[in-house]
Amino acid sequence: MSQTDGAQFASVDEVVEALAAHGYIADTRLATTVFLVTRLDKPLLIEGPAGVGKTELAKALALISGRRLLRLQCYEGQDETKALYEWDYGKQLLYTQILREKIGQVVADAPDLESAVDRIGAQESVFFSERFLASRPLLESIRSADPTVLLIDEVDRADEALEAVLLETLAEFQVSVPEVGTFTTKTPPYVVLTSNNTRDLSAALKRRCLHLFLDYPSAERELAIVRSKNTGLPDALAAQLVEIVRGLRELELRKAPSISETIDWARTLAVLGVTELTATVLSDTASVVVKYDKDVRKAIGAMPRLVDPNATVPEPGHVAGHGHGHGHGHGEHQHDEPDEVDGRAVRAAKDAEGRHDEAYYRTRDSAQPPVPVTPKPKVTADRGARSFGAGLGRKRAL
């Protein structure tokens, strides 16, 4: 135990209160995990869908413990220098320029190039010293004089090689810089790793960490979160809205709405001065919570039922007819993918049957022979994949 920073919580309840005081609404399971992080020198791995409060929890932990937050945002292809340290090349260069004269003196009476190089070499340690070391978050958290919270965000995006480096560092809380020496920590940082599960993390990493699966919150907690954000939406409507969002999460959407979307929706409805949640007003604003075209149509189709489960509203045919099941095999928590911005697919989807009647297509220019009404392309589940794969065809055509 290494509580030199005085942020000692006596109980799980105290953690719940402290988090709430900083705007983070936690249940006991979540708070218990946080409590353990402050008591055991073990990193915490939080997994779960996007937008459920993983990153926010690390920030809240920094606030309640009064520690400085250091954040390592992971991405594909990232190498360890961005996590550990780099040499501050610019600074080295600046120093050599300013010190040109002095360096000149060192080599002034060297008889030949080789001995000049040797003399400079003997001074190398000056330039590869702590002064020129640019700490990145991992090393910084270990070197830091004051205790820190180290957030390693979206670790699933990092390559396995970096994951191995993280593992090594987290095991010992020390970093070796060959030219300088080994840094060890005075107060181990509280480490929080988050993952959106885009790939499996190594068993070794999981073994080393306390583990928390953070899913969408209970209705009660989600309502508390919405309330805590002072969205301006009356409580009764907020409660109803939370239920509707929960209903949307049960549809097989490509990207289920997260807590931040519930908050945004509440704010939007408040700004519009809505006093009653009707299927119409919710449908009109649905794009605040569902961001993919197909999802929007699915959401709108389900809206009457979500607003009033007993209503017998005829399902709009084409909404129920297709689009269902899309997203399988994509995984739940995809990041933006090119197929969704395929303009043709988007336009074709908008032009779904029923948007205009046949007469519209025929009478646009009655002087012309009637335009054959070609059947609209059906937007089927694999359409996105096909248009994405169409890149191949396009290449061949060039």
Residue whose Cβ sits closest to ligand ADP: 53
Sign of CA dihedral 390, 392, 393, 398: positive
* C-alpha distance from residue 76 to each of 80, 159, 329 (Å): 12, 6, 21
Q: Which is nearer to Mg ion, 163 or 342 (CB)?
A: 163
The CA-based dihedral angle spanning residues 361, 363, 369, 372, taken in that order and rounded to the nearest 10 degrees: 20
> Judged by CB under 6 A, does residue 175 bind ligand ADP?
no
Secondary element (H or E) of residue 172: helix 160-172
- 51 touches ligand ADP (CB under 6 A): yes
The count of other CB atoms within 10 Å of the CB of residue 30 is 22
CB of 153 to Mg ion, least distance (A): 6
Q: Residue 75: left (phi > 0), alpha (psi -120 to 50), or beta?
A: beta
Task: Say how far apart CA 303 and CA 281 lie, in whole Å.
Answer: 10
Stretch that binds ligand ADP, among 22-30, 140-148, 183-191, 369-377 (CB under 6 A): 22-30
Size of the site for ligand ADP (CB under 6 A): 17
| Residue whose tokens read 């991992």 | 138
d(CA 224, CA 239): 9
Choose which of 53, 137, 304, 323 interacts with ligand ADP (CB under 6 A).
53
Q: Which of 56, 80, 140, 295 binds ligand ADP (CB under 6 A)?
A: 56
Would you give the end-to-end CA distance of the chain in angstroms?
A: 65
Helix (H, G, I), strand (E, B) or coil at 66: coil
Contact of residue 51 among Mg ion, ligand ADP, none (CB under 5-8 Å per partner type)? ligand ADP
Span of 53-61, 79-87, 158-166, 299-307 interacting with ligand ADP by CB under 6 A: 53-61
Residues between 209 and 268 with contacts to ligand ADP, criterion CB under 6 A: 225, 228, 259-260, 263
Tokens of 205: 């990493």
Decide: 179 and 125 in contact? Cβ < 8 Å: yes
How near is the Cβ of 273 to ligand ADP at its closest, in Å?
Answer: 23
| Least distance CB 265 / ligand ADP (angstroms) | 12
Quick one: which segment of 54-62, 259-267, 277-285, 350-358 binds Mg ion (CB under 5 A)?
A: 54-62
- Please give the angle made by the CA atoms of 311, 312 and 313, to the nearest 5 degrees: 100
Q: Which does 52 bind (CB under 5 to 8 A by kind): Mg ion, ligand ADP, none?
A: ligand ADP
Residue 55, interface with Mg ion (CB under 5 A)? yes
Task: Give the shortest CB-162-to-Mg ion separation in angstroms.
Answer: 18
Q: What 3-state DSSP class applies to 237?
A: helix
| Smaller CB separation from Mg ion, 22 or 91 | 22
Tell me the pairing of strands 174-177 and 181-184: antiparallel
Q: With CB cut-offs between 5 and 8 Å by kind, which of Mg ion, ligand ADP, none does residue 151 bind?
A: none
Q: Is 258 in the site for Mg ion (CB under 5 A)?
A: no
Q: Count of CB atoms within 10 A of residue 243's CB?
A: 16
List the single partner that 24 binds among ligand ADP, Mg ion, none, CB under 5 to 8 Å by kind: ligand ADP
Binding site for Mg ion (CB under 5 A): 55
Binding site for ligand ADP (CB under 6 A): 23-26, 50-56, 194, 225, 228, 259-260, 263
